[in-house]
Amino acid sequence: MGFAFGMLRLSPGAFWSMTPRELNCALQTLQGGVPGAPARNDLDLLMQRFPDRDVGE
């Protein structure tokens, strides 16, 4: 809690309303834990699963 209040400067209400995942993301951002780009294979699978479509379709 000290880190959340001191470093993140969260109010008590903001802290207590955060999910563990949100708090973890905030901590990783300060520590430089930014996720990398997806692998090419993962991107290809996403493009196949969710293809771009024309607006008129």
How far is the C-alpha of 7 from the C-alpha of 2, rounded, in Å? 8
Q: How many domains does the chain have?
A: 1
Tell me, yes or no, whether 32 lies in a domain. Answer: yes
Tell me, yes or no, whether 54 lies in a domain. Answer: no
Tell me, yes or no, whether 45 lies in a domain. Answer: yes
Which residue range forms the structural domain that includes residue 19? Answer: 2-49
Q: Where are the alpha helices (DSSP H) in 1-57?
A: 2-6, 12-17, 20-30, 40-49
pLDDT in tens, the chain (57 residues): 888 888 888 899 999 999 998 988 888 877 775 567 778 999 999 899 998 876 565
Predicted confidence at residue 18, as pLDDT, reads 93
Q: Residue type for 8, please?
A: L
Contact by Cβ (8 Å): 24, 16: no
Tell me, yes or no, whether 57 lies in a domain. Answer: no
Tell me, yes or no, whether 41 lies in a domain. Answer: yes
Tell me, yes or no, whether 56 lies in a domain. Answer: no
Predicted confidence at residue 14, as pLDDT, reads 93
List b or e across 9-24, with b for residues whose CB sees 16 or more CB atoms inside 10 angstroms.
ebeeeeeeebeeeeee
